[in-house]
Amino acid sequence: MNLEKVIFGAFVILACTLNFGFFVGEIDNPQHHHQLELAGTVFVNLIAMILKFGDRTHIGAVHLATSIVAVLQLIAAALVWMWATRVAGMPTEGEVMATVVSLAGGALVANFISVALLIGETMRRTR
């Protein structure tokens, strides 16, 4: 068993599951989407992205691309949330929360693609 592959796979899957946990719920209800969960999702996705830098294969490049997309979307979601609530003084509910959750949903799609690539790569290596 390769410990590097285990850690890599664990962070890819953890990034996806944390993102899913933040995304699930009523889109405009802030009680269903906690800001610390979003922060944790950003942090784990950043770690997953860093772990993908070492792979020089084509599939590694696609893995890195999916991580870059997910991190950009999650950072955008966090910035929208911070700007709307701290700078603009808008309430967290309604369109602000819907925008944050929609951006996190885009990152979730990128995470799903990354997990699918991981599964496909694993299946290919076992044959």
In sequence order, what are the residues at sequence separation of 6 or more whose Cβ sits closer than 8 angstroms to the Cβ of residue 93?
28, 29, 30
Regarding pTM above 0.85, the answer is yes
Q: What are 56-67's pLDDT values in tens digits?
A: 889 999 999 999
Give the residue extent of every domain in the chain.
Answer: 3-126
Mean pLDDT of the chain: 93
- Rounded average pLDDT over 29-48: 95
pLDDT at 2 over 90: no
Cα-Cα-Cα-Cα torsion 85, 40, 49, 81, nearest 10 degrees, comes to: -10
